[in-house]
Chain A
Amino acid sequence: MNGRSGLFKFFLFLFLFVIILLQFLSMIQSDRLYKRLDTIIRRLENAPTTRTAQPQQEPKISEAKNLPMAEVPGDDGDWLVWRLSAEPRTLNTISDERDVYTTYITGGSIFERLLEYDWDEVELKPWLAESYELSKDGLEMTVRLRDGVCFSDGVPMTADDIIFTYRTIMNPGVDAAVQRTIYSTFKDVIKIDERTVKFVFTEVLWKTFEAVGLFEVFPQHIYDFNDPAEFNKHRSNPVGSGPYEFERWDVGQQVVLKRNENYWGYKPKLKKVVFRFILNDAAALQALRAGEIDFTEPEPEQYSEMKSNKEFTARFRAMSYWQPGVPFFYIAWNETTPFFADKRVRLAMTHIIDREAIVKHLLSGEAMITTGPFYIFGSQYDPNIKPWPYDSERAKQLLDEAGWIDHDGDGIRDKDGVKFSFRLAFATGRVFYEQLAKLFKDTASTVGVEVIADPYEWSVFTQKYRKHDFDALAIGSGGTVEFDPYQYFHSSQIAGGGDNCTSYNNLQADALIDVARRTLDPEKRYPLYHRFHRLIHEDQPFTFLYIRPEWRFLDKRFENVIEHKLGLNPNEWYVPRDKQRYK
């Protein structure tokens, strides 16, 4: 017994010793990591020397006496028939994982947010909130709700609804993993009184304030649930505080919204908004011309063909505008393959993609070559960085320098017995990518590189992206008003199928991203993003192809159609009584 007890004690001590040793080693490792990071940050000119930047400003108090949107002039009545190219699976914006079609229907019409971007100044301003105040350390934000806000069923909105919405999103059983990421810096939301809540954050990030703004308030009395699965299944009959309320959903056909006659703000003039689901682009254009729909998003070819058709433009507005958040398109180079680990090779690839020809011939000139992921007209984007030109001679030189030489004379370069023959993955369904692959294949062959087009059905494509199982892939991503490059380019996002799908690993980039996202003062933040922009321009983890404007066709009977910096706001439109089509 004694012998066994001694053995037991020995193993217990050994176990404790190992744990303490591991803890000690991990502390040293952690210290080393911080030291390295600090060294890099110090090397960066004008960069703050502390890792976690504190708010560089006095507590911010913002108050809204008037709404950012003015009262709409013009006659009351008529409907807007808006074409969607797919049917959303739900109108519950929490459990939709940000389906763009759900957002089209409910955003700004049914559900409203605490803060909204001003349409022209593109700045977050109070909306459902009357005012907000940021604490000095930047870790607390107190929001006071506007008085007199009711949901469309007449029930007043209170602090409890804000807290309910937050708790619902954070409930692990609710299908809202993406949103939970957006709110990952939220520690809690506390009720102060019936109209006041306090958001408490774990760290200071500029995105945190955008996240407060993105908070769509759900009424507790409608959406309260016993089981999260019950909430996930609540797909129809959305109730919010917005200027429109849900009327009906004809499955496969349309969703109809009617004006919320008891809306707390300025009421829109249009009585109904009908979202018609038309999957076929050609059919949608014909439906527009036949007067069955009023508003649609055309394909590039349709836009460039119809905008110069006088008969068409006499009846319809053909609009092209650059709104913040327009998607950017790129080719990602997987640095774990033998081809793209060397940045000279990635740069060579950029030199043999004729982006001017792509914009001119494949996009009818209706796009711009971009050099980074930021909004091209925004403050994050450095306009001094010029796109690498199409230059096959420079590409040959770079490939030679990187050791990719045609040793066996078969017309394809090789290195260490590996031929420079790689697969360019893209999703099927868009003709653009097929054309891009062909064009790239042709230009690459002139420098001795073989490109094999590798189209995949979307579900397989997403799996390949998540597993980082590709050589190169062509894709487009939705941008935002201000873009955080963390998930795409930070080295911490490589493992576990993260969004850094190219395995781009640059400590300098990591440091810039880390510091910039913790810098609240835009005047100090933008130069950091400019430096990051220049860094990825040199490193080329992605070849940024182009950014394109939004295109819309709209029936000319609608008036007060303003192209804001943020895009179009249908809540401002009206139809003169003599031109109204629907009663």
Chain B
Amino acid sequence: MTIYIIRRFLLMIPTLAGITIVVFAISRLAPGDPVSLSLGPGGALDAQRAADVRAARMHLYGLDKPVYVQYATWLGRVVRFNFGDSIKHHRPVIDLIKERLPITLTLNLISFIIIYAISIPMGILSAVGRKKFIDRISSVMLLMLWSLPSMWVGQMLIGYLCGPPLNWFPSAGLSSNDAEQFPFFLWLSDRLWHLVLPVFCLTYAGFAYLTKLVRAGMLDNLRADYVRTARAKGLSNWAVIFRHAFRNSIIPVITIMATLLPAMFGGSIIIERIFSVSGMGLLAFEAVTTRDYNVVMGVATIAGFLNLIGLLLADIAYAMVDPRISFESVE
């Protein structure tokens, strides 16, 4: 197992390098560049100065060098854990990430906890009560939720719940204007109140997907011989379902968990835009649209690394929950 983990870690290096090369190539090959963008269209610079500034900035950002030299320079910096400065903000990329990561983490952690807390029992209930009322109603409901685009749902929620006459939730941001002056518990409840709608939009589609996975896994196992044997031994229904069937159905749930880390880092562009939450999703989106290459590369590299770590953790978790999965043969 240890050798397997070490080997997987070593394999991560070329994989990550491959990811960075692809992202770097795409970002440079895409039309548009940060210098034209910073000069903007219209009446601000005379022609000679525009040309001089353009040349100076291309040199400053190293964009006048061949792409492979730019990549080598970038790689040279990254191995020293320096992601460079944002072209747009004139600030270290890592500082921008540090500012926005807590916002995205808060949103996603809450969302994941809610998704798991609701989907697992619902999946089990649906499987146990297969083709009964609860199964049918939950299937229809979840399918409906799954098919609703979050952008539309977000706008509808803002339109109907945020303004008069209901005025139930705030439509934007993470806290009230004067939240600074609130005592701690009032501040916390204000923050949670602001999180309700964005978290709802982030979770509702996840319910359907995960519930279906848990349900399918449970159904397979409930029909298996070992469950019949367990029942024949006289074990309680509770013990059969949770100690035997559920434990074996958990693998798909772990697979989903592997995507948890990068998703928590990456944030959601759509939800963050609709509810004006400045998290990692918005940072990445902004970086792509403004051709802020260092930020794009910084976010992509860290997200790629977390993705690989997530996959590794999932593999380790497989072995822990299912003794049939072994790494011996791999070793």
Contacts and interface: CB of A to CB of B under 8 A. Distances in A.
Interface of A: 79, 81, 87, 89-90, 95, 97-98, 172, 175, 177-178, 180-181, 184, 229, 232-233, 235, 251-254, 274, 276-280, 282-287, 289-290, 292, 457-463, 465-467, 475, 477-478, 486-488, 492-501, 582-583
B237 interface: no
Given A175-B90, A285-B163, A292-B171, A459 B50 contact: no
B322 to A, nearest CB: 42
Interface in B140-168: 155, 158-159, 162-164, 167
Contact of A499 (B45, B99, B291): B45
Given A283-B158, A286-B159, A459-B32, A477 B172 contact: no
Contacts of A475: 41-42
B207 interface: no
B162 A287 contact: yes
Nearest to B45: A181
Contacts of A97: 38, 40
Contact of A235 (B90, B172, B274): B90
B32 A457 contact: yes
Nearest to A501: B41
Given A280-B158, A466-B36, A180 B173 contact: no
B100 interface: yes
B91 interface: yes
Contact of A253 (B42, B171, B278): B278
Contacts of A467: 36
A253 B90 contact: no
Given A287-B162, A462-B37, A89 B89 contact: yes
Contacts of B291: 459
B155 to A, nearest CB: 6
B177 A277 contact: no
A180 B44 CA distance: 10
B275 A283 contact: yes
B177 A254 contact: yes
5 contacts: A181-B45, A252-B276, A278-B276, A457-B289, A496-B47
Contact of B164 (A254, A289, A495): A289
Contacts of B49: 177, 180-181, 184
Given A251-B99, A499-B41, A292 B177 contact: yes
B174 interface: yes
Contacts of A493: 46-47
Given A462-B37, A466-B50, A496-B48, 11 more contacts: A90-B90, A97-B40, A175-B90, A177-B39, A283-B172, A283-B275, A459-B34, A466-B36, A493-B46, A496-B50, A497-B47
A526 B278 CA distance: 47
A497 B51 contact: yes
Contacts of B301: none
B159 to A, nearest CB: 7
A497 B276 CA distance: 36
Given A497-B54, A498-B50, A87 B42 contact: no
Contact of B171 (A283, A465, A477, A496): A283
The 7 closest A-B pairs by CB, nearest first: A252-B278, A498-B47, A459-B32, A496-B51, A286-B163, A460-B32, A283-B171
Contacts, number: 193
A184 B46 contact: yes
A414 B49 CA distance: 39
A283 B278 CA distance: 15
Interface string B176-213: 11100100000000000000000000000000000000
Interface in B276-310: 276-279, 282, 289-291
B31 interface: yes
Given A276-B177, A582-B178, A290 B171 contact: yes
Contacts of A283: 158, 162, 171-172, 274-276
B170 A287 contact: yes
Highest count of chain B CB atoms <10 Å: which of A178, A184, A289: A178
A466 B39 contact: yes
B321 interface: no
B279 A289 contact: no
B86 to A, nearest CB: 8
Contact of A292 (B33, B36, B47, B170): B170
B159 A282 contact: yes
Contact of B46 (A292, A458, A466, A487): A487
A501 B181 CA distance: 52
B259 interface: no
A180 B49 CA distance: 9
Interface in B47-90: 47-51, 53-54, 56, 88-90
Contact of A279 (B40, B103, B273, B279): B273
A541 B176 CA distance: 50
A105 to B, nearest CB: 15
B248 interface: no
A280 B275 contact: yes
Given A184-B46, A462-B37, A477-B43, A235 B278 contact: no
Nearest to B290: A459
A290 B164 contact: yes
Nearest to A276: B173
Contact of B278 (A81, A87, A233, A463): A87
A278 B44 contact: no
